[in-house]
Chain A
Amino acid sequence: MGEVWKNPLTPWRGDAEPAEAASDPWRDPGEVWRAKRASSVPMHKVGRLRYFWKAQGHGERTWNRLRYWPTRRRVLDIRGEYNPKILRREKTILDRRPIYWALSFLAILLAPLIVPGDLQSTLISAGTVFLIYAAINLCWTLIIGTAGIFSLATMAVVGAAAYGAAAMSVFYGWPWWTLPFVGAGIGLVFGVVIALPATRLDGFYYALLTLGLNELCRVYVVQSRTFGSATGGLYGADSFIPAGLSPFGELATGYYAAFALMLVALALFRFVHGKRLGRILRMAPEKREAFAQAVGINYRAARIQVFILSSAALGLIGGFYASYFRGASPSLFSFDAVLLGLAMLVIGGIGRSEGAVAGTFIVILIDKVFLSLGPIRLIVIGLIMLGVVLFLKNGLFGIKQQFRAWRNKKKSENRSSRAEKGGEMLPEEATETEDKDLIYARRFDKMQRDYLKTIVSERLIEEHQRNPLGQHSEPLERLLMYFRRQPQVDKYAITVIEPFKAYRIVALSGHRGVAPRLVEEKTYPTEAEAYHAVFLRRVQDLLEY
């Protein structure tokens, strides 16, 4: 305000120009830059890219990979690539799940050897139960997840097979190795019978019906005298654990047999879910059946096939159950067993093998190891289940996917709030542009315009009117320098109609051979007036832009 500009040319030019003029105080051009850099949008670390651990690569061996029979699959899905930044080859493990599976198999194998002596019987038998239930849940997740049939009669199939096998062994003296096959046969028949309504009924009707079937089995078994209503179960079946072993030997035999059972169930899961049937069914998820049908997929047949296969496998597990526990008890059919089984599936995530196994582990750990807690442990399981259902889309193993979806949502929200109008590029545009200098040039231009807008004032315009050419105060000179530096396209210029009498304002085309266009009809009598008119137009464009 109070600044005075002194003309440095006064001693030479005499009184041709004013010696001094009132001027605005100097402003720091960095202010705008700093204000711009201090973003008003909160920036979180959410916007990271996916992280991959990189191993140093060996180029020749990238293609010589171990493939296992009978597929052409590799043990690990490794991508080899050349990193231009460090000028070296790198390897990226795209899917680390096989490593985790191998580590957990190793842990399961070694677990009985490191269990402390006083807890041996509790922990190893809990481990055996875990492995058996993991096998059951792998089959169940095939039914619910892959086939999309919301059946709650899984434990009914297992229980029926266990009872049938136990009855064969108790009443007819069949040896232990026949029991799983007896169970599989019963499971097959049972599966066919309960698959019949599944062809007609919708998801929920079927869930409720199968829940009822489970209850029906329980009531029948509890009331039936042949199945031991008096003794609380049918016991005395032949066991695969040979007599005369040490207590640890007995426990370990059961444990490793159950481990083998779980491996069989995993193989079944792999061959149903990952092969043709699974592909077909992934094509026909719930509510999109019509599309699948239109493409020529017989999803009903596929669903029933998966259902019957899983039922047979469940029957086999039931037979194993009978020969491990030397019989069967009505608790197999109890509502709580169904609930706990469902909790295992839901906690891990329906439709994934790792979800079924991990969920089973968590639930069995709480249910069988912390026995001293009483009813509280079931409440804890229920709370975990409730939390998972309320907050997670697909169990614990869906967290990663859910988090990524959330992060992408946040990313795009932040991006859209960052996008401002002006010379700067939008973020999408910026990533697409090859020449990154362009981004910075535009940003610099935007900052400069923002700064220049702040120094435009009445006094500056008056000064220019007084003296369009010649020495100017510092802010006016900045403004004029900016105007002069602009590109030729649509730049204002003065055309002479008649020298010293008539001038007009035109805009240059910027292209060779294309004449400038006339901007307005008005003619200016003097050159200085025309200069000032151009200046005013440029200022107006700057302020309006």
Chain B
Amino acid sequence: MDIGFVIVSAVTLACVYGTLAIGLSITWSSLGLVNMAYGVTFAAAGYGAWLVAEQLQAIDALADMTLVVGPVVILAGILTGAVCGLIVCAIAFIPIHDKPNFTVRGLIASLALSLIGTQFLLQVFGPRAKNLPPLFGDWELPLGNVVVTADKGGAMVTSVVMLALALRWMRSSRRGLEIRAMMMNPHAASLVGIGVRRTGFYVMALTGGLAGLASVLLSQTYFISPFSGLTPLIKGLSVALLGGLGSVGGAIAAAILLGINEALTSALLGGQYVLITQFLLIILVLLVRPRGIAGILDKAREA
């Protein structure tokens, strides 16, 4: 196996899973919701992007223009993801966020949504996998003896740029300030007049959009199917767990760590051992630091 290829795919996956993990992490720390419907949001965003891509392919004039098709399809994915996030928020967060035992009920409600959504996608689109047209053109960038192909390079660059934009928005805008206040202390945030429900919608739209982005980027390499959200969900959760739920920096560190682990394991032991080493690593880290790499040890969030 080519070590360069492995490294490039590991970095790409790390970028994409890091995006997902940051979405999950923001949701948990600001809303107290473990969003298990993230996998479905991911799959649905893939289908949304696919529908738009199909429509664009039908127009002859646009069929070859990657510069137009690419951004439009990515945008469609992000929008679908955001809409799915809003739906999840309206069903699994708004009605129960002030009820007793919210954390468990929210988890179960989002799991139920995940079950419903997956089966709905299966019913509507059928079990056959779909794939998107190449969004980043067809080029190769040789870096020494490593070759970065168009899909991977594009995915890396786009995810980093979009993530940077999202984080920048969170740092500089009024809404971002509200979200960050909720992440620090939801109770105090509501005391100073930040609407919990309204912020819930912002957060879920933002994180849903991130899931949509990840979905479109990942479907450059993999296919879109009703069950395609599961692996990214598990990976995103692992990254978020390892990094410490609620910490953006921790999620980035964890994504890099897990990417390195994946590349090393595939190169040294073989592909089927990736998950095993990954979970051993996570368990080891969590045994040492029960709240992840960057997690705060005392009870930061009393759901």
Chain A residues packing against B (C-beta within 8 Å): 150, 196-197, 200-205, 207-209, 211-213, 215-216, 219-220, 223-224, 335-336, 339-340, 342-343, 346, 374-376, 378-379, 381-383, 385-386, 389-390, 393
**Set of chain B residues within 8 Å of A335, measured between Cβ atoms:** 227, 230
Given A209-B286, A379-B120: A393 touches B96 (CB 8 Å cut-off): no
Say whether B69 faces chain A, with CB atoms less than 8 Å apart. no
- Are A220 and B275 touching (Cβ within 8 A)? yes
Across the A-B interface, give the 7 residue pairs with the lowest CB-CB distance, nearest first: A382-B116, A382-B115, A385-B112, A386-B112, A375-B119, A378-B119, A223-B272
Q: B231 contacts which chain A residues (CB < 8 A)? A: 215
Q: Contact between A379 and B291 (Cβ–Cβ < 8 Å)?
A: no
Contact-residue bracket for chain B: 35 or more
Residues of A within 8 A of B230 (CB): 215, 335
B169 sits at the interface (CB 8 A):
no
Q: Which of B112, B272, B275, B282 is within 8 Å of A389, CB to CB?
A: B112
Contact yes or no, B272 A209, CB < 8 A: no
What is the bound-complex CA distance between A342 and B28, given in angstroms?
A: 21
Inside 8 A of B96's CB, which chain A residues have their CB?
389-390
CA distance A219 to B235 in the complex (A): 13
Pick from A204, A374, A382: contact of B107, CB below 8 A: A204
A196 to B286, CA, bound (A): 11
B100, B112, B118: the one contacting A343 at CB < 8 Å is B112
Closest chain A CB from B257 CB (angstroms): 15
B276 touches A393 (CB 8 A): no
Specify which chain A residues have a CB less than 8 angstroms from the CB of B115 in the assembled complex: 336, 339-340, 343, 378-379, 381-382, 385
**Which one of B28, B109, B122, B240 has the highest number of Cβ atoms from chain A below 10 Å of its Cβ?**
B109
Flag if A212 contacts B282 (CB, 8 Å): yes
The residue of chain B having its C-beta at the shortest distance from the C-beta of A213 within the complex is: B279
Expressed in whole angstroms, the Cα–Cα distance for A341 and B17 within the complex equals 28
Residue of A whose beta carbon sits closest to that of B229:
A335
Whether, in the assembled complex, B283 has its beta carbon less than 8 Å from a beta carbon of chain A, the answer is yes
Are A220 and B276 CB-contacts (below 8 A) given A202-B290, A382-B112?
Answer: yes
Check if A390 sits within 8 Å of B287, measured CB to CB.
Answer: no
24 of the cross-chain contacts (CB-CB < 8 Å) are A197-B283, A200-B286, A202-B291, A205-B286, A208-B241, A209-B286, A212-B238, A212-B241, A215-B231, A215-B234, A339-B111, A339-B114, A342-B111, A375-B120, A376-B119, A382-B112, A382-B113, A382-B115, A383-B116, A386-B91, A386-B112, A386-B113, A389-B109, A393-B101
A-side contacts of B272, CB under 8 Å: 219-220, 223-224
Question: Secondary structure at chain A's binding surface: helix, strand, loop or mixed?
Answer: helix
- Given the interface contacts A150-B104, A208-B34, does A375 sit within 8 Å of B123 by beta carbon? yes
Mask, B24-35, CB within 8 Å of A = 1, is 000010000010
Cα distance A453–B43 in the bound complex, in angstroms: 75
Contact with A along B193-231 (1 / 0, CB 8 A): 000000000000000000000000000000000010011
Q: Which residue of A lies closest to B230 (CB)?
A: A335
* Min CB gap B161→A, angstroms: 29
Query: Bound complex: CA of A216 vs CA of B279, how far in Å?
Result: 8
Residue numbers in B under 8 Å from A220 (CB-CB): 272, 275-276
State how many angstroms separate the Cβ of B292 from the closest Cβ of chain A.
Answer: 8
Residues of chain A with a CB closer than 8 A to B116's CB = 378-379, 382-383, 386
Contacts beyond the supplied A220-B272, A336-B118: 10 A-B pairs with Cβ under 8 Å: A200-B290, A203-B103, A207-B34, A208-B34, A208-B237, A211-B234, A375-B119, A386-B109, A386-B116, A393-B101
Complex Cα distance A376/B118, Å?
11
Q: Which B residues are CB-close (under 8 A) to A200?
A: 286-287, 290
B71 interfacial contact with A, CB 8 Å: no
B251: interface (CB < 8 Å): no
Residues of B within 8 A of A376 (CB): 119, 123
Please give, as numbers and ranges, the residues of chain A lying within 8 Å of B241 by CB-CB distance.
205, 208-209, 212
Binary contact track B140-171/A, C-beta < 8 Å → 1, others 0? 00000000000000000000000000000000
Among A212, A336, A385, point to the contact of B237 (Cβ < 8 A): A212
In terms of DSSP, what is the predominant structure of the interface of chain B? helix
Docked-complex contact B234 and A212, CB < 8 angstroms: yes
A390 to B122, CA, bound (A): 25
Beta-carbon contacts of B259-303 to A below 8 Å, as 1s and 0s? 000000000000010011001001100110011100000000000
Given the known A-B contacts A208-B241, A215-B230, A215-B234, are A201 and B286 also in contact in the complex, defined by CB atoms under 8 Å?
Answer: yes
How far is B245's CA from A208's CA once the two chains are assembled, in angstroms? 11
Q: Are B237 and A375 in contact (CB under 8 A)?
A: no
Chain A residue at minimal CB-CB distance from B122: A375
B36-93 interface with A by 8 A CB criterion: 91
In the assembled complex, the CB of B92 is this many whole angstroms from the nearest CB of chain A, namely: 8
CA distance A204 to B237 in the complex (A): 11
Contacts of A343 in B (CB 8 A): 112, 115
Q: Which residue of A lies closest to B113 (CB)?
A: A386
Q: How far is the CB of A150 from chain B (nearest CB, A)?
A: 7
| A342→B108 contact, CB < 8 A | yes
CA gap between A216 and B115 in the complex, in Å: 20
Smallest Cβ distance from A215 to chain B, in angstroms? Answer: 5
The docked-state distance in angstroms from the alpha carbon of A385 to that of B110 is: 10
B105 at interface by CB-CB < 8 Å? yes
A197 in complex: contacting residue of B28, B101, B245, B287, CB < 8 Å? B287
- Which residues of chain B (13-29) have a CB below 8 Å from chain A? 28
Closest to B124 in A: A375
CB-CB under 8 A from A381, the residues of chain B are: 115
Interface-centre pick from B28, B95, B105, B119 (highest chain A CB count, 10 A): B119
Residues of B within 8 A of A219 (CB): 272, 275
Considering the chains assembled together, what is the distance between the CA atoms of A390 and B116 in angstroms?
15
Shortest CB–CB separation between residue B248 and chain A, in angstroms? 18
Contact yes or no, A382 B234, CB < 8 A: no
Contacts of A205 in B (CB 8 A): 241, 245, 286, 290-292
Task: Provide the residues of chain B in CB contact with A386, threshold 8 Å.
Answer: 91, 109, 112-113, 116
Q: Which residues of B contact A224 (CB under 8 A)?
A: 272
**Chain B residues whose CB sits within 8 angstroms of the CB of A342 once the complex forms:** 108, 111
Bound Cα distance A223, B275 (Å) = 12
Cα(A220)–Cα(B95), bound, Å: 39
On whether the beta carbons of B95 and A209 are closer than 8 Å, the reply is no
Q: Identify the closest chain B residue to A219 (Cβ).
A: B275
Contact A374–B237 (Cβ < 8 Å): no
Contact of A209 with B282 in the complex, beta carbons under 8 Å:
yes
Complex-state Cα separation, A386 to B105, whole angstroms: 9
How many whole Å from B225's CB to the nearest CB in chain A?
Answer: 13
- Least distance between B244 CB and chain A CB atoms (Å): 10
How far, in whole Å, are A389 and B272 apart by their CA atoms in the complex? 37
Task: Specify the chain B residue showing the minimal Cβ separation from A150.
Answer: B104
Partner of B275, one of A196, A202, A215, A393: A215
Contact A385:B108 (CB < 8 A) given known A215-B230, A378-B119: yes
Minimum C-beta distance from B285 to chain A (A): 11
A207 to B, closest residue via Cβ: B107
